[in-house]
Structure 1
Amino acid sequence: MVTVGQIHAGTKHNIIPSEAMLGLSVRSFDEQVRAKVLASIERVVTAEAAASGAPREPDVISDERFPLTVNDEAATERTAAALRRAIGDDRVIDPGPVSGSEDVGVLATAAGVPLVYWFLGGSDPSLFGDGLATGRMPEDVPSNHSPHFAPLIEPTLGAGVAALVAAAREWLAAP
């Protein structure tokens, strides 16, 4: 997935800018796909600059890169079971693969521990009807990077605290 998150060019509506900057986010579930997408972006940007008669080659800078965030299967099931017991089976859903851009995988790898990354929903359920009853996240629920993201303080805060406490107790309990 390629997201154009920033466009910066010029200082006034009636002056042609001397340069433009696009800020992109590239996310994939496969390193080979990612490499192909990055190469394609560079190819397209270079071709567009040449076609428009740009005086120099464009700078294509890749300054943020995170490894794939992959949950440990056994640890995820153990944590999910603890969450189901604490906040209810109907409130723990599997969102499926998510193309997040997180550095938590680096931390888990460095610490030599299994990764369990989860999301805490906070959207007003009255806005999405029965969409959550499917056991999967509805497509139209705004994520934390959406301009429409507006979590409810409660029950979000209470559920979040209960979830964190349940996960901590599960993993810190004496064997």
Structure 2
Amino acid sequence: MNHVPVAYPGENTPVLDGVREILRPAVAFYLDLHRHPELSGEERRTAARLGEWLTEAGYEVTGEVGGHGVVGVLRNGDGPRVLIRAELDALPVAEQTGLPYASEGPAMHACGHDLHLAAAAGAASLLARARDRWRGTVVIVGQPAEETLAGARAMLADGLYERFDRPDAVLAQHSAPLPGGMVAHGYGPMLAGSVGFEAVIHGRGGHAGTPQLAVDPVVTAAAAVLRLQSVVSRESAPTEPATLNVGSFHSGSGGNLIPDRATLGITVRAMSERALDRMAASVERIVRAECAASGCPRDPEITVVSRSPVTHPDPGATELVREAHLRLYGRERVALWPPAMASEDFPLYGDAGVSVHGMAGIPLAYWMFGAVGPRTWARTPGSAEDKLAALPPNHSPEFAPDVRTALPAGITAMTAAALCWLKGGAGPVD
């Protein structure tokens, strides 16, 4: 990684003391985002709200980068350039939390992007208010379309690093079902890479009373769904983390007819690019073989609709940020994070995106921070593992971060991480 002066923030640094002043507006910002979620590619209001916050904090703001992406730049003398990334978009999930500030529409912030964005905004304000404590440049990126794994690629393709310069480090965090106030770091792969497919199977429509005159794509697609389950159980080593999910199956409009097509939505996930490539080839082979076995009149149309690399943060950057968090929170609040099969497009901001922006060697730091309130954690029965299994996970309609404990930690964790790179940061220079 790049060798730059490193500052470890201590528990009582003046920079972090400012969190008391910005916490109330940051909570209001979070509640507003939660009430008004926007789907991937539709984040106009969310982007505008972030832009307003950053402008008021003193950042130079540019909108519509790679879609509705927002970039805020705060220059504060010579020094490293640190990029903080958070996401704008929500999920097509109807909220069932019962919260007084719940979304009333068909979308919901069921993955914590509203929390990430409020934490990044709070960190941006803390850093802006304490410019006498550090030197360098802070870049805040509000990324669109993370849920469709398209936003990072779009922002990079729109010249993110050419227009706003190459960063010395890129930071991001994600909410997790841990007690609020905790953070967790991983060494090695943290999140899986993924490939998403849309497979259109072409049959020959007809009357349900004369099936012999038709080629039923429903039967073909159903056979493919069952056969695809063998990709992990029979084509992957038992020690190799991998998943395959058929998340959507669409066909037909009535029980008295045979449709002429069926469409499957398929996702594979693995902890290595080699495994992803192998599983992707298996998906295509199986779908084509089932179509051939059914005598489909046309070959299937198999399209890769998304691809994300494995999230593998830089070991050196991880150690720097973890040490800062240990000094800030103490060992009892800093955990280790095991590899998980969720996926992100965040790796594209580093070496994984070299094919997009033509630059390598940008260290990434990525960690988890807790979102479960103390009462919820305490009343959930069982061990820590039992609690994690019982609590509503990300993407659940019941996902409800405890903003009182999660947001302050999210703000201070991100601020402390940024200060690890910024010259003249609060605390002794290593």
Q: TM-score range by the shorter chain?
A: 0.7 to 0.9
Give the direction of change, closer, same or farther, for the CA distance of 1:140–1:36 in structure 2 (3 Å limit). farther
Q: Check if 1:154 corresponds to 2:404.
A: yes
Q: Structure 2 residue aligned with 1:18, among 251, 255, 260? A: 260
Query: Equivalences for 1:33-112 in 2 at 5 Å?
Result: 33-109=275-351, 110=359, 112=361
State the TM-score, normalized to the length of structure 2: 0.36
Aligned partners of 1:87 and 1:159 also within 8 Å: no
> Is 1:9–1:19's contact at 8 Å kept on the other side of the alignment?
yes
Mean alpha-carbon deviation: is it higher for 13-22 or for 150-159? Answer: 13-22
Match of 2:377 in 1: 125
Measured at CA, do residues 49 and 128 of structure 1 come closer, stay the same or move farther in structure 2, by a change above 3 Å? farther
- Give the structure 1 partner of residue 193 of structure 2: none
- How far apart are the structure 2 equivalents of 1:25 and 1:90? 37
Structure 1, 68-77 or 82-91: larger mean CA deviation:
82-91
Q: Is the 8 A contact 1:3 1:25 kept in 2?
A: yes
Q: 1:147 to 1:55 in 2, by over 3 A?
A: farther
Structure 2: how far apart are the matches of 1:94 and 1:141?
Answer: 19
**How far apart, CA to CA, are the structure 2 residues paired with 1:128 and 1:149?**
18
Distance change (3 Å), C-alpha of 1:142 and 1:88? farther
Contact 1:49 1:57 in 2 (8 A): yes
1:69–1:100 Cα contact (<8 Å) kept: no
Q: 1:118 to 1:2 in 2, by over 3 A?
A: same
Unpaired segments of 5 or more residues in structure 2? Answer: 1-242, 352-358
1:166 to 416, 421, 426: 416
Per-residue deviation, 1:14: 4.6
Match of 1:113, SS state, is coil
State whether residues 4 and 23 of structure 1, in contact with CA within 8 Å, keep that contact through their aligned partners in structure 2: yes
Q: What is the DSSP-based 3-state SS (H/G/I as helix, E as strand, rest coil) of the residue aligned with 1:156?
A: helix
User: What per-residue deviation string (whole Å, max 9, x for no partner) do you get for residues 120-173 of structure 1?
Assistant: 2213423365416xxxx9455554234453322221112211211211222224
Write 1 or 2 for the structure with the bigger share of strand: 2
Larger CA deviation: 72-81 vs 6-15: 6-15
Q: Which residue in 1 is equivalent to 2:169?
A: none
CA distance in 2, matches of 1:94, 1:170: 20
| One-letter amino acid matched to 1:145 | H
Q: 1:82 & 1:100 partners in 2: Cα distance?
A: 26
Q: Which structure features the higher share of helix residues?
A: 1
Residues 1:160 and 1:73: Cα distance change in structure 2 (over 3 Å): same
1:5 equivalent in structure 2: 247
Distance 1:45 1:125, change over 3 A: same
Pairwise CA distance, 1:84: 2.5
Shift of 1:41: 0.9
Which structure is larger by alpha-carbon Rg, 1 or 2? Answer: 2
- Give distance in 2, aligned partners of 1:83 and 1:102: 23
CA distance in 2, matches of 1:154, 1:129: 24
The CA RMSD over aligned residues, in Å, is 2.5
For the Cα contact (< 8 Å) 1:87–1:162, is it kept in 2?
no
Report how far residue 98 of structure 1 moved.
2.5
Q: State the Cα deviation string for residues 15-64 of structure 1 (Å, max 9, x = none).
A: 43321211122211122211211111111111222233322111111121
**What is the distance in 2 between the residues matched to 1:21 and 1:122?**
36
Point out 4+ residue stretches in structure 1 off by more than 4 angstroms: 137-142
- Counterparts in 2 of 1:160 and 1:13: CA distance versus 1, 3 Å: farther
Q: Which runs of 5+ in 1 are unaligned?
A: none
Alpha-carbon distance in 1 for matches of 2:381, 2:349: 35
Aligned residues: 171
